[in-house]
Amino acid sequence: MATAIITGSGLYTPKDIISNQALVNSLNQFVEQYQAKYHTEIAAGTMPALEPSDPDFIEKASGIKNRYVIDKKGILDPNRLCPQIPQRSPDEISVQAEMALHALEPALAEAQLKGSDIDTVICAASVMQRGYPSMSVEIQHHLGAKGSALDLQMACSSATFGLQVINSLIQSGAAKKIVMVNPEICSAHLDYSNRDSHFIFGDACTAMVIEAHENQSGFRILSTQCQTQYSNNIRNEFGFLNRIEAGRDPKHPPFFTQQGRKVFKEVSSLAAEHLANHCQQHQLLPAQLKRFWLHQANATMNQLILKKLLETEPNAYQAPLVLDNYANTSSAGCVIAFHTHKTDFEAGEKGLLCSFGAGYSIGSALLEKC
Ligand code: CO8
């Protein structure tokens, strides 16, 4: 049976960055204008009152300080509170495919491969830009890759669930050189007038090259584990049926919503249990692993999960945080942590890549440096 080895990784970071303070300034300005305009309706209870946000709350509650986005100007404009991108014609490359190609460049360079060497392209992300043609097929085309392509969606766990598919494709001999990309444009689905969620997400794209090759250096995938458990606590109603749903205002597309407290509590326990089981499957103690590249949603959540697992306070070396700068980039988060914290591994050292989020979905991949 062939072994899957991650031989390259890459990251594309949009150039626009927004600090908590800048984000809060624009929301608070919007709230002030809104309260002044609708004070009669708010007093009569026919329109909701909006609350101002606070940069100290954001950092304390989540650990987030900044986020990268595809368009800062639109988000920070209090009269818009939404990113804006120019419309592109079908002859131009789409935004998600463009992000993917940027992220693939360093990943392919590290693997010392060209696009034409690739036989399978997987685009794994929370949301795809359109129904069809599939994003992965467009990326395959621009890459000059052969074989086939596949889109895969499992919210925050799209990358780890993607790795499980890739591991099986390589082990079965169905593919030999695969690329996976995770172009996440989370800012498009956020209600920037809602203080409960306006700070949570950022945009980024990650990429990985995975090869069937015994003697290649990189990170060997020892095993993958995925689990799902239905929950409405993280939800996004956006979809192709919106325009035909009676009572839905087409001018107001649905946004991301969540019961943050419930998610925190329920997912922390599920993720700790999942990671413990994955270690146990290999007769490994969690402390024997060099690193946990965890999903990047909440700093305290990650600390809690690892404290349960390691039975001691984890340090930044064991579980690196990237959410302070990137915020939650959905499926790209744990791959950013991996990409930016992998060079100090010696042959034989092991680490666990793990995501957890909407679905609920939890996925992990046990990796060994080779
Ligand atoms: N400023 C000031 N006060 C605030 C703010 C703010 N911005 N926001 C909330 N408050 C207030 C609340 O109103 C509340 O006030 P009160 O006590 O008077 O009711 C108080 O602060 C406490 O609010 P919360 O209970 O909501 O605060 P928490 O301590 O729970 O922190 C978090 C909120 C940070 C959201 C936290 O609950 C959290 O991180 N939970 C985990 C969330 C998580 O992991 N979610 C994963 C979702 S992502 C995912 O699965 C991918 C989906 C795909 C994404 C696609 C693109 C969108």
pLDDT per residue as tens digits for the range 168-190: 999 999 999 999 999 999 999 99
Q: Give the mean pLDDT of the chain.
A: 96
185 in Cβ contact with 135 (< 8 Å): no
Asked if the structure places residue 161 within a domain, the reply is no
Distance CA 15, CA 100 (A): 15
Q: Is 182 in the pocket of ligand 1 (CB under 6 A)?
A: no
Q: Which atom of ligand 1 is nearest to the CA of 260?
A: 37
Asked if the structure places residue 266 within a domain, the reply is yes
pLDDT tens-digit readout, 21-62: 999 999 999 999 999 999 999 999 999 999 999 999 999 999
Asked if the structure places residue 175 within a domain, the reply is no
Residue nearest atom 40 in ligand 1 by C-alpha distance:
260
Q: Is 64 in the pocket of ligand 1 (CB under 6 A)?
A: no
- Report percent pLDDT > 70 for the chain: 100
Q: Is 253 in the pocket of ligand 1 (CB under 6 A)?
A: no
Return the number of other C-beta atoms located less than 10 Å from residue 32's C-beta: 13
363 in Cβ contact with 166 (< 8 Å): no
Q: Is 264 in the pocket of ligand 1 (CB under 6 A)?
A: yes
For a mutational test of ligand 1's pocket, the pick from 28, 258, 304, i.e. the residue with the most ligand atoms closer than 8 A to its C-beta, is: 258
pLDDT tens-digit readout, 184-239: 999 999 999 999 999 999 999 999 999 998 778 999 999 999 999 999 999 999 98
Buried b (16+ CB within 10 A) or exposed e, 43-69: eeeeeeebeebbbeebeebbbbbbbbb
The number of domains in the chain is 1
Asked if the structure places residue 329 within a domain, the reply is yes
Q: Which atom of ligand 1 is nearest to the CA of 197?
A: 35
Residue nearest atom 8 in ligand 1 by C-alpha distance:
196
- Distance from the CA of 261 to the center of ligand 1, in angstroms? 7
pLDDT tens-digit readout, 288-328: 999 999 999 999 999 999 999 998 888 888 999 999 999 99
- Distance from the CA of 114 to the center of ligand 1, in angstroms? 42
Q: Active site includes 186?
A: no
- Distance from the CA of 197 to the center of ligand 1, in angstroms? 6
Asked if the structure places residue 210 within a domain, the reply is no
| Phi-psi region at 236: left, alpha or beta (left = phi > 0; alpha = psi -120 to 50) | beta
Torsion of CA 196, 53, 24, 33, to 10 degrees: 110
pLDDT recorded at residue 253: 83
pLDDT band at 350 (very low <50, low <70, confident <90, very high): very high
- Distance from the CA of 317 to the center of ligand 1, in angstroms? 26
69 in Cβ contact with 187 (< 8 Å): yes
Asked if the structure places residue 310 within a domain, the reply is yes
| Dihedral over Cα of 244, 245, 246, 251: its sign | negative
pLDDT recorded at residue 215: 75
Q: Is 330 in the pocket of ligand 1 (CB under 6 A)?
A: yes
**Contact partners, residue 137, CB within 8 Å, separation at least 6:** 121, 149
Residue nearest atom 48 in ligand 1 by C-alpha distance:
357
pLDDT tens-digit readout, 138-173: 999 999 999 999 999 999 999 999 999 999 999 999
Distance CA 286, CA 222 (A): 15
Asked if the structure places residue 327 within a domain, the reply is yes
- Report percent pLDDT > 90 for the chain: 92
Q: Is 258 in the pocket of ligand 1 (CB under 6 A)?
A: yes
223 pairs with which residues across the strands?
Answer: 366
Q: Supply φ then ψ for residue 165, to 5 degrees.
A: -60, -45
Asked if the structure places residue 14 within a domain, the reply is no
Pairing of strands 203-212, 177-185: antiparallel
The amino acid present at 18, given as its one-letter code, is I
Active-site residue, selected from the candidate residues 82, 123, 156, 279: 156
Does pLDDT of 71 surpass 80?
yes
Q: Is 334 in the pocket of ligand 1 (CB under 6 A)?
A: no
Q: Is 360 in the pocket of ligand 1 (CB under 6 A)?
A: no
CATH number at residue 288: 3.40.47.10
- Distance from the CA of 103 to the center of ligand 1, in angstroms? 30
Enter the pTM of the model: 0.96
- Distance from the CA of 353 to the center of ligand 1, in angstroms? 24
Residue nearest atom 9 in ligand 1 by C-alpha distance:
196
- Distance from the CA of 298 to the center of ligand 1, in angstroms? 9
The counts of H helices and E strands in the chain are 11, 13
Domain that holds residue 344: 220-369
